[in-house]
Structure 1
Amino acid sequence: MTSTTTIVLVHGAFADASSWHPVIERLLAGGHHVVAPPVAGRSLSADAAYIKSFVEQIDGPVLLAGHSYGGAVITVAGVAENVAGLVYVSGYALEEGESLGQLQGGFPDSALAAHLVYRPYPTDSGEPGTDVSVDPAAFPEIFAAGLDPRTARALAVSQRPLSAVAFSEPATVAAWKTKPGWGIVSTADHTINPEVERFGYQRAALRRIVEVDAPHLVMHTHPDEVAGVITGALDDLA
């Protein structure tokens, strides 16, 4: 399956597809088919519907990998028929009917909770929505720990917000119930409590759970390990 499977990398909140850049370089160097589509961050249902549609237009099997909020997205989008497996990277593995807020609510808050910024944005309904982002002053330490300070500062001012509705919207399905999965826990994560990652992965009975002494953006600080888990999943599926 390694030569024919497309790896679809789904980014999380407060970031964009470029957050996968170091891993993309390694996967492409290994001869893999890779795409990293954008996630709008407007709602879990809309984001998952978009990724599912994107995946269904790919000819052949797909391995979905989701970072952070992207884990919630692949949990729902992963029911697409051609999805062969799921890889969670510092991500949320939601249960059917569970929201991000509910899963996080069972554990102590991470450092992120005290450094969120809320801003209104216009919607088609006429009622304003609420965008959530990370205070740029705190972003380097909380979200981009371990990165070069210049890179962290640039990411802080170019972050992509997530609509507040995405935190309370329940997952309509849980693809891990029917698709095999693999997971990476970032044990030094200050954005998501590592226990949230660990609990979700164990509940989903993922085939392999790897713990890395890494911050939230493990794809930047430990790209070899992340690429290795993804290619290892391909090998398992072969």
Structure 2
Amino acid sequence: MATTSGTTTTPTIVLVHGAFADAASWAPVTRELLDRGHTVFVPPIYNRSLSQDAASVRAFVEHIDGPVVLAGHSYGGAVIGVAGEADQVTALVFVSGYVLDVGESLGQLQGGFPDSDLAANLVYTPYPVAGGDPGTDVSVEIDAFPAVFAAGVDPRAAEVLAVSQRPLSGAAFGEPASAAAWKTKPGWGIVSAADHTINPDVERFGYQRAGLREVIELDAPHLVMQTHPREVADVIEKAVRETAA
């Protein structure tokens, strides 16, 4: 799946979406990267647990022939931090993302900072688990979704996103990360300075702790891939260029 030119292998790009969204959240960046000639995949993330989601992404990556750059948005940042342990992953790009250390959970990382607007606008819904107790799905209140999660997105598009969001299992908030691929893989980060879903200081802290190779700040909302696709694609392309073998 990777492209080769002479002795240079260009990494395949795998985009990982986060909670309350699906692969379509990456659509403008996907289009931008495809137009630039990159090989791109955007697999579904099931948002059941950090370990399961990371295992799913890792399995997907391990079926790709050649090096891979992983880019994760929001909760997807936590996912790539674990899945990025796969041997062929050459770089990590965190986009408005969580960067967890080994043994740290989303709740622990967030707990060290003031709540964003998201905390007061969450909805909890039980879902069935075969042979076990019901789980709890967490989603964003539909009426609050445009302002809290999709600020800056066309209002009509935000309405569609609000009613098609993919919830995150409540269990994922308390599950500790089993790996921190950023300790061995180069990373890049994008801070969304106008983020109402994740406190931007959570993003800044995680990126600084991880010692990412480069961090940029954009005056952008949480769905920066929708509002600033070219800038996001530029950062991903830089990671691709600097890690091509």
TM-score, structure 1 normalization: 0.98
Match of 1:127, SS?
Answer: coil
CA-to-partner distance for each residue in 1:102-139, whole Å, 9 max, x for gaps? 00000000000000000000012320000000000000
Given residue 180 of structure 1, which amino acid in structure 2 is its aligned partner?
Answer: P
2:10–2:240 contact (8 Å) kept in structure 1: no
Out of 30, 33, 41, the residue aligned to residue 24 of structure 1 is 30
CA distance, structure 1, for counterparts of residue 167 and residue 146 of structure 2: 16
TM-score, structure 2 normalization: 0.96
Q: Which runs of 5+ in 1 are unaligned?
A: none
Q: Which runs of 5+ in 2 are unaligned?
A: none
CA-to-partner distance for each residue in 1:164-205, whole Å, 9 max, x for gaps? 000000000100001000000000000000000000000000
Given residue 222 of structure 1, which amino acid in structure 2 is its aligned partner?
Answer: H
1:162 maps to 2:193: no
Out of 230, 233, 242, the residue aligned to residue 224 of structure 1 is 230
Match of 2:103, SS?
Answer: coil
Given residue 201 of structure 2, which amino acid in structure 1 is its aligned partner?
Answer: E
CA distance, structure 1, for counterparts of residue 33 and residue 129 of structure 2: 38
Counting only pairs closer than 5 Å after superposition, residues 171-210 of structure 1 correspond to structure 2 as 171-210=177-216
1:104 matched residue in structure 2 = 110
Identity rate of aligned residues, in percent? 71
2:17–2:75 contact (8 Å) kept in structure 1: yes
CA-to-partner distance for each residue in 1:20-47, whole Å, 9 max, x for gaps? 0000011000000000000000000000
Shift of 1:95: 0.4
CA distance, structure 2, for counterparts of residue 36 and residue 50 of structure 1: 12
Given residue 206 of structure 2, which amino acid in structure 1 is its aligned partner?
Answer: G
1:118 maps to 2:121: no
1:41–1:161 contact (8 Å) kept in structure 2: yes
Match of 1:120, SS?
Answer: strand
1:81 matched residue in structure 2 = 87
CA distance, structure 2, for counterparts of residue 126 and residue 207 of structure 1: 44
2:53–2:79 contact (8 Å) kept in structure 1: yes
Out of 124, 132, 142, the residue aligned to residue 148 of structure 2 is 142
